[in-house]
Structure 1
């Protein structure tokens, strides 16, 4: 009910702005109203049209206005804003050359009019692009320039963003101590300005590092460092979760509940020290608890993609516990949801789990069907053109829903790859002799898949928190953690141009999952 009232109120605001736009007598007023409409409009197919109007009005007035006239600077500012938004849109679409062209054109204007705050934002966004292109040196240069300007003007919120991005540079280079250092500096800055949402995000990012890399201060044995890392990851995720719950962020709450569930599912309960078996058993129990809470919220907010992933996560635990009836229920529901949204990655994961279930319960016909579907989806995802199309469709779904979140993860049963599938092939062949040729071919495919999978895991490790379907920057294409006051003419436009710091909970989930590839 409350959400419905919010939507109606938002629609009323937009209608009022549109009416004001029709009645506006001066182009400066029209530009201000257009900016307000763009910030209020959530429809990705609608707001760019108003941004084009803004750009057109600004360009027209710049042509007929002397550069010495005060209004010239105002229209130049509006043009810079419009170009910045256009560049951000091209970045979200994967058109890097056009994104860079518009960002640089906007930057040139901002340097001419001396808008330091906007310059810093543009430099940051250019750094994000270079970061994702793998040009770490250029990214570092842009971030450093952005940070210097933000320090000069005392923009604490911007400083926190820059420190966060610098932390990812160090993480990219596997310099974990410095990554944690800059994350901690960003966290301190956000605490100073009382930015609870930003605090929760940085805590989440720090937790992801500990999960992925272990505790760098624990130098005894690698396994001890990893174990200590899981414990610290739980601590940071729990702190982030409490803040998300406090500020009413249902999406973030669901993501973190899922993150915590993954740790318990994969590594057991670190507080149980009696035996490894007891720790794993206790971990499964807690994981089911956290997954259940996450699933409930995701169903409340209608996040179908995340629902499909969480159902699969729960199914994985029941498979490990050999509770195949329950596993079948959840994995079948996951398959249904995955087919509805049409994501090959999730269909692949669900079919892999269903294959395991049917194989374990002796239903070799359905085991074979799901095995073949798994191979089909896996090969489809590995195809570059299909992969890009899948990502584009996924982004459209996420943006339409304004908050979709990927699954944090199914448990990473990497041991169920070549050896078990090869064994399964032999079992099915014994019962299905007539399919000998088929399974021989599949065996070769599996060998190739194993090689490719290992290579890809190395790449994932190198790319860390920034890789996985490239959807992190794209999925944040219209979100801004901190809205910034406009320097000139009361223009408020941050939501359409400010790229939030590199990962959100969605990317952290992908780091945890390890099975999105």
Structure 2
């Protein structure tokens, strides 16, 4: 479980940038960009904007970063190419996209190496240090801790030589976290002590809080409770200086851990509850998993095994990929003990069986290694016996034939015994392997069945959506266009019946106006069914046309289109158009929005679509209640067809933002 704590605290080192002064800095940079006259200045500002928006606004982070890369290439600006690529890589790292982060770090670091080879000034060295340090962090996210420690340690002497004390303090703290993560607690304690003195000299309140909370985890593992409490007090002193700090949740989680270890269980639960209130709105937060385990530990020490069992189950069922085999085995064993304490012996037996199965699975995985070791031992023993027999033959030529026979018998017995052991081990391994394969096939059948059921649900929803669309079209034609044409028919009949003596100019003008209105409505219906602009000129032109048509005296719809639709299949373009069309209609008709912003950004085969309005918004409960309606369900179906994800962010009277992330077939 220690790895969860340290990975989270390492993430805090990047998230802490979102604290004091960011908004003012962003406003200052945006203003400077507007008045910048030289391309090199624009590259530097765009690159810094990408870095500052990292972890806060991904669209603006990548938009500014890619602009900086393109402009620096155009003017052959080496420093800009290094800095911009490293900052874009940092943006990917903020969202744990390690593959793309490493890709851009390698490009940026290559430019940074060339840059410092020409000019090793302080500003250039800072770019080089940031790239080297953060690619180490990326390796750490992949589990390559040795490579991460190597790269981070490499940066420290350069930073010390430059006199960058804050960088040295951050690097030492990162190394301390990594040493704690691999259970080198004494080494971690040493590094934390060094960096604490450095932060006291040059660190901000955020730096000191980050360091203190990271340090408490090591102190907890070392059972150094007095030092742990004093370190938490340092964190609280600095936390009080920052209202609504990002670190409030981690602080109370660590305080709950301290109280639990100190036997103050009521205080422990109160602290854990305060941390839970901060994270409960984000069920995917990794910190919730940590809190569940700490709740279970505290209730177990209190003797409340029912509560301990409840939180252990939440911990086991947490939807992430960080449960290792040892955690699963230990959790089954712990649940069996809880059930036994509650006199639920049947359930305890069930969990105990799960414990045995999980443990056997681990043993089967390790059996192949054991077999290989045994085979090596056998071959080594055989070879040693042969060498020994050869030496005896040379040095003791006078030995009797009976003695040689006895040696041969002994050697044969040893070989037979080893062969028997190998055969028994091999048979045991085969039986376990057959059971494991049988279980795997059963699981594959279950997964295939679930997948088929999900696909059936999606197809059913699509068919139902198509039927809804046909019904809506029929109503539009009958009630709208049909009504108009009936009125025109009546007016013409009336003219024919009255047989006017004079030319009926006014009546004919009214009929002509009705005909024009009918044609306009017919074109609107046709455009909604299949926009002609989309077929002829593509997605960008169709969206521009539609946004213009929806802009009126009361509503302004703005389109920002970055990238292109080139290579995207026509059916995917149509579906994207329908998604954006539905979102704009919802914003205008249901949210009463006066301003709607539509953003389309494409990078490779990734497309990000954002529709933001200033309407009345809604709360999450209303969204859940309305999910049975075909509007939201059709949106989800279309986005699922595009292999995408759909997210709603809204507050009542504060507008709505809808994010759609799509993976297209074209690269």
TM-score by length of 1: 0.50
Alpha-carbon deviations, 1:298-321, whole Å to 9, x = none?
337777443354244223332343
* Counterparts in 2 of 1:243 and 1:344: CA distance versus 1, 3 Å: same
Q: Which has the higher strand share?
A: 2
1:40 and 2:56 aligned: no
> What corresponds to 1:191 in structure 2?
200
Q: Distance in 1 between matches of 2:250 and 2:357?
A: 29
1:287 and 2:282 aligned: no
> What corresponds to 2:415 in structure 1?
none
> What corresponds to 1:258 in structure 2?
253
Indicate if the aligned counterparts of 1:127 and 1:142 stay in contact, CA closer than 8 A. Answer: no
Where do 1:354-365 residues align within 5 Å? 355-363=336-344
- Picking from 106, 113, 125, the partner of 1:116 is 125
* Counterparts in 2 of 1:329 and 1:208: CA distance versus 1, 3 Å: closer
**Could you say what secondary structure the match of 2:276 adopts?**
helix
Equivalenced residue count is 336
Q: Distance in 2 between matches of 1:56 and 1:343?
A: 37
* Counterparts in 2 of 1:165 and 1:17: CA distance versus 1, 3 Å: closer
Alpha-carbon deviations, 1:195-235, whole Å to 9, x = none?
111122223344333333x4xxxxxxxxxxx5xx2322232
> What corresponds to 1:246 in structure 2?
241
1:80 and 2:62 aligned: no
The alignment's C-alpha RMSD in Å is 5.1
Q: Distance in 2 between matches of 1:94 and 1:319?
A: 38
Alpha-carbon deviations, 1:403-430, whole Å to 9, x = none?
xxxxxxxxxxxxxxxxxxxxxxxxxxxx
- Note the C-alpha offset of 1:188: 2.9
> What corresponds to 2:499 in structure 1?
none
> What corresponds to 2:391 in structure 1?
none
Q: Distance in 2 between matches of 1:313 and 1:246?
A: 28
Q: Distance in 1 between matches of 2:82 and 2:242?
A: 34
Runs of 5+ consecutive residues of structure 1 not aligned to the other structure: 1-5, 63-74, 215-225, 270-281, 385-440, 446-517
**Could you say what secondary structure the match of 1:345 adopts?**
coil
Where do 1:50-449 residues align within 5 Å? 50-62=64-76, 75-88=77-90, 92-95=96-99, 98=103, 101-111=106-116, 112-114=118-120, 115-125=124-134, 128=137, 132-135=144-147, 138-139=150-151, 142-151=154-163, 155-165=164-174, 180=189, 182-193=191-202, 195-212=204-221, 214=222, 226=223, 229-248=224-243, 250-265=245-260, 267=261, 269=262, 282-299=263-280, 304-327=285-308, 330=311, 334=314, 338=317, 341-342=319-320, 345=323, 355-363=336-344, 366-367=347-348
- Note the C-alpha offset of 1:106: 3.2
* Counterparts in 2 of 1:85 and 1:40: CA distance versus 1, 3 Å: closer
Q: Distance in 1 between matches of 2:351 and 2:68?
A: 52
Indicate if the aligned counterparts of 1:331 and 1:350 stay in contact, CA closer than 8 A. Answer: yes
Indicate if the aligned counterparts of 1:117 and 1:150 stay in contact, CA closer than 8 A. Answer: no
**Could you say what secondary structure the match of 2:71 adopts?**
helix
* Counterparts in 2 of 1:302 and 1:36: CA distance versus 1, 3 Å: farther
- Note the C-alpha offset of 1:55: 0.9
Indicate if the aligned counterparts of 1:251 and 1:298 stay in contact, CA closer than 8 A. Answer: no
Q: Distance in 2 between matches of 1:326 and 1:196?
A: 37
Q: Distance in 1 between matches of 2:360 and 2:246?
A: 31
Q: Which stretch has the larger CA shift, 142-151 or 368-377?
A: 368-377
Indicate if the aligned counterparts of 2:180 and 2:188 stay in contact, CA closer than 8 A. Answer: yes
Indicate if the aligned counterparts of 1:210 and 1:232 stay in contact, CA closer than 8 A. Answer: yes
* Counterparts in 2 of 1:183 and 1:16: CA distance versus 1, 3 Å: closer
- Note the C-alpha offset of 1:59: 0.6
Q: Which stretch has the larger CA shift, 124-133 or 237-246?
A: 124-133
Runs of 5+ consecutive residues of structure 2 not aligned to the other structure: 1-17, 366-431, 437-667
Q: Distance in 2 between matches of 1:380 and 1:25?
A: 66
* Counterparts in 2 of 1:140 and 1:344: CA distance versus 1, 3 Å: closer
> What corresponds to 1:514 in structure 2?
none
- Note the C-alpha offset of 1:82: 1.7
Larger radius of gyration: 2
Higher-RCO chain (CA-CA 8 Å, sequence separation at least 6): 1
- Note the C-alpha offset of 1:43: 4.0
Indicate if the aligned counterparts of 1:87 and 1:102 stay in contact, CA closer than 8 A. Answer: no
Indicate if the aligned counterparts of 1:254 and 1:297 stay in contact, CA closer than 8 A. Answer: yes
